[in-house]
């Protein structure tokens, strides 16, 4: 009887394993930190701050007399910087108890007013260099003075 030939499978398996190990090794370019190469920024750096803007006006917005103090608008007389989602209580003199900034974007300012038995909403287009756009909401006037990205300068006046 003849002796069986050696089986090629163990040699092939060893060769494939060696090739896989070598393929997984690669040289890092000089000057690059391999530990930081795949790292992602920290959560603090990746997420914008939440809440109303408390900083100074953007480069295209004039300073607001009342800054970001939305409480100054309770009597329907103020000049403030606003962003979408801002809202404030009003004293109800004009039938509006709560004012909400629905949107601030390239299309202007969207807003709503709520009171007992009343719901008002409107949209002002961005100012075009002429007279600023206005919206009368139940006896007080909302004026859109300027828009810069997601921040707007608006005034309320009786």
Residue 91 tokens, joined: 């004293």
Both ends of the chain: CA-CA distance in Å?
A: 113
Q: Mind listing the pLDDT tens digit of every residue in the chain (158 residues)?
A: 555 555 544 443 444 344 333 334 434 334 444 443 444 333 443 333 333 333 445 557 999 999 999 999 999 999 999 999 999 999 999 999 999 999 999 999 999 999 999 999 999 999 998 999 999 999 999 999 999 999 999 999 99
Q: How far apart are CA 36 and CA 16, in angstroms?
A: 31
Q: Is 44 helix (H, G, I), strand (E, B) or coil?
A: helix
What is the per-residue DSSP string for 80-125?
EEE-TT-EEE--STTS-SEEEEEEEETTEEEEEEEETTEEEEEEEP
Beta-carbon count within 10 A of 29 CB: 8
- Asked if 98 and 116 count as a contact pair (C-beta separation under 8 A), the reply is no
- Asked if 146 and 133 count as a contact pair (C-beta separation under 8 A), the reply is no
List CB contacts of 155: < 8 A, sequence separation 6 or more: 78, 79, 80, 141, 142, 143, 145
Q: Please state the domain extents for the chain.
A: 70-157
40-85 pLDDT, tens per residue? 333 443 333 333 333 445 557 999 999 999 999 999 999 999 999 9
pTM assigned to the model: 0.63
């Amino acid at each position: 009887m003849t002796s069986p030939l050696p089986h090629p499978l163990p040699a092939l398996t060893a060769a494939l394993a060696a090739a896989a190990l070598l393929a997984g090794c690669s040289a890092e370019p000089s000057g690059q930190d391999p530990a930081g190469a795949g790292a992602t920024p920290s959560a603090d750096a990746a997420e914008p701050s939440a809440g109303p803007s408390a900083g100074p006006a953007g480069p295209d917005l004039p300073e607001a007399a009342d800054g970001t103090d939305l409480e100054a608008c309770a009597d329907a007389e103020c000049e403030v910087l606003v962003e979408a989602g801002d809202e404030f209580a009003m004293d109800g003199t004009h039938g509006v108890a709560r004012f909400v900034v629905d949107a601030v974007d390239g299309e202007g300012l969207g807003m709503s007013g709520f009171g007992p038995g009343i719901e008002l909403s409107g949209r002002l287009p961005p100012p075009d260099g002429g007279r600023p756009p206005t919206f009368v909401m139940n006896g007080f006037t909302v004026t859109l003075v300027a828009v810069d990205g997601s921040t707007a300068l608006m005034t309320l006046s009786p």
